[in-house]
Amino acid sequence: MIIDIIEGVPQGKALDLQESSCLQVFDSLVTGTNDYKETANSDVVVITAGLPRKPGMSREDLLATNAKIVQSVTEKIMEHSHDPIIIVVSNPLDAMVYMAKQTSKRAQE
């Protein structure tokens, strides 16, 4: 399941991945959505949400912006999935992992 806030983007990416499955030799179904409800009961979630650092942007500004994004995404994930494993791939990494952990209220690391 791929999710994005931009309508049509996750559906297109999922279609590209699904069509490459015969070349990549995998048989998983890849779908795209703009609705977090469709991620219900996920066992594993990978968060790649966040903005890239722009020229002249300080790391503190990047942290503040991406922390809000990761917090929002994590809250929406936790509304629909019970205790998923959350993997974060967003910069600045350590701070975003901490934000997801605090927001999810997971005891495990």
Q: State the pLDDT at residue 65.
A: 97
pTM (predicted TM-score): 0.85
When the pLDDT of each residue in the chain is averaged and rounded to a whole number, the result is: 92
Are 87 and 47 in contact by the 8 Å Cβ rule? The answer is yes
* Start-end of CATH 3.40.50.720 domains in the chain: 41-109
Q: Choose among 103, 109, 108: nearest CA to 72.
A: 103
Label residue 26 by pLDDT band (50, 70, 90).
Answer: confident
The stretches of 20-85 forming alpha helices (DSSP H) are 21-24, 59-80
What digits encode the pLDDT tens for the residues 53-93?
A: 999 999 999 999 999 999 999 999 999 999 999 999 999 99
- Check whether 108 has a pLDDT greater than 70: no
CA distance 90 to 81: 21
CA distance 109 to 101: 8
Are 49 and 70 in contact by the 8 Å Cβ rule? The answer is yes
- In CATH, 41-109 is 3.40.50.720: yes
